[in-house]
Amino acid sequence: MERILISGISGAGKTTLAGRLADRLSLPRYELDALHHGPGWVKRPEFEDDVARFSSGSRWVTEDQYHRLLGDLLWTRADTVIWLDLPKHTVMTRVLRRSFTRAIDGRELWNGNRESFRDWPKPDHPIRWAWSNHQARRERTRQRITHFLALDIVHLASASEVRRWLGGLADGGTDHAG
């Protein structure tokens, strides 16, 4: 596992797991939201070039997002995909808690951007996105996996599976669930 792509819907825990894997495996971590969002939530013009540059390297971990801009670039360059295929109720609990906390504390996310309650009705807000796209995202990931058979796939379908798998890494194991 040298080039790791973490797949899953908003709220599945991609960013959290990416950080933990970067620490445990001493991998450079690239957060796609930070590379994508410029001030005012506007896409940074350098986004695609930045992703192409880091993903051509030999070691990295990042989240599987922005397909409409990147296509399958990250899938073609990864050696491992970790699919966080968590139940909708788990994802929704997490994304609601995260969005509520961000709206209350007003902390900066990326390039001066902050989340607020007034963002929640927007169709692309993570709460609405996770609710309306959970099943479709699951199906798209399943389809991608069938096209990338050479990749090592780690399919984790619950928070407890994620914890067990991550704990196994600390013990030197690399068992693949699912």
29 DSSP β-pair partners: 61
**Gyration radius (Cα) of the chain, Å:** 16
Angstrom distance (rounded) from CA 74 to CA 22: 17
Q: Considering only CA atoms, which of 103, 2, 127, 116 is closest in space to residue 55?
A: 2
DSSP H or E run through 82: strand 80-84
pLDDT tens sequence across 83-104: 999 999 999 999 999 999 999 9
pLDDT tens sequence across 108-136: 999 999 999 999 999 889 999 999 999 99
Bridge-based pairing state of the strands 60-63 and 152-156? unpaired
pLDDT tens sequence across 137-175: 999 999 999 999 999 999 999 999 999 999 998 665 554
Q: Give the per-residue pLDDT at 178.
A: 46
Q: Considering only CA atoms, which of 31, 35, 78 is closest in space to residue 59?
A: 78
